Amino acid sequence: MPGFAQALLILAVIALVVIRQMKPQRLTDARRWWLVPAVLAYCGLRESGLLDPGRRVESLALLGGELLIGLLMGVAWARTSHVWAEQDGSVWSRGTKATAVVWIVGIASRLGLMGIGLLIGIHQGTGALLLALAATLLVRAGLLELRAHTLRTGPALTGAVR
């Protein structure tokens, strides 16, 4: 798939994820919450051009920055999500306005890193973006699963965890 089409597909997935997160979603007691991030990471690692062979140190630093932004976004996304338990014991999550701000800041930060890379002559492929998105989703899903588990096993199933 050409790079431009891949970038459009990634943007479409991100838009879909953000829009879906603004609506209440039931958090199931799924054992495979890590599966989608693992597939994204695998695809990202398989991409050619993950590191610029002529400037390995600089491209590795950019990749590290991308992953750090992804991890921080995952933490912030999970922290800004409202999580609550219903009377029947089901646990739900919904993004807040702060969640949208997290995405805007995260995307702006990633664009800034891409700009820095272009200024110093490094072009990162979509693999870096896939790895960062995988990190974001993995951290967010893991933290929400921990919060949901606390609500499922806690003494009062009717409270909200912020």
pLDDT in tens, 122-133: 877 788 888 999
Assess if residue 26 is contained within a domain. Answer: no
Range(s) of the domain holding residue 84: 3-21+31-161
Assess if residue 123 is contained within a domain. Answer: yes
pTM beyond 0.85: the answer is no
Predicted local distance difference test score (pLDDT) of residue 36:
87
Predicted local distance difference test score (pLDDT) of residue 157:
47
Which one, of 128, 127, 124, 161, lies nearest residue 146 by Cα?
161
Angle at 137 between CA 136 and CA 141, to 5 degrees: 120
Predicted local distance difference test score (pLDDT) of residue 32:
84
Residue 86 DSSP symbol: -
Question: What letter represents residue 79's amino acid?
Answer: R
Predicted local distance difference test score (pLDDT) of residue 161:
54
Assess if residue 12 is contained within a domain. Answer: yes
Predicted local distance difference test score (pLDDT) of residue 75:
98
Assess if residue 93 is contained within a domain. Answer: yes
Low-confidence ranges of the chain (pLDDT < 50): 157-158
Number of structural domains found in the chain: 1
CA distance 40 to 75: 18
99 and 80 Cβ atoms separated by less than 8 Å: yes
Predicted local distance difference test score (pLDDT) of residue 3:
62
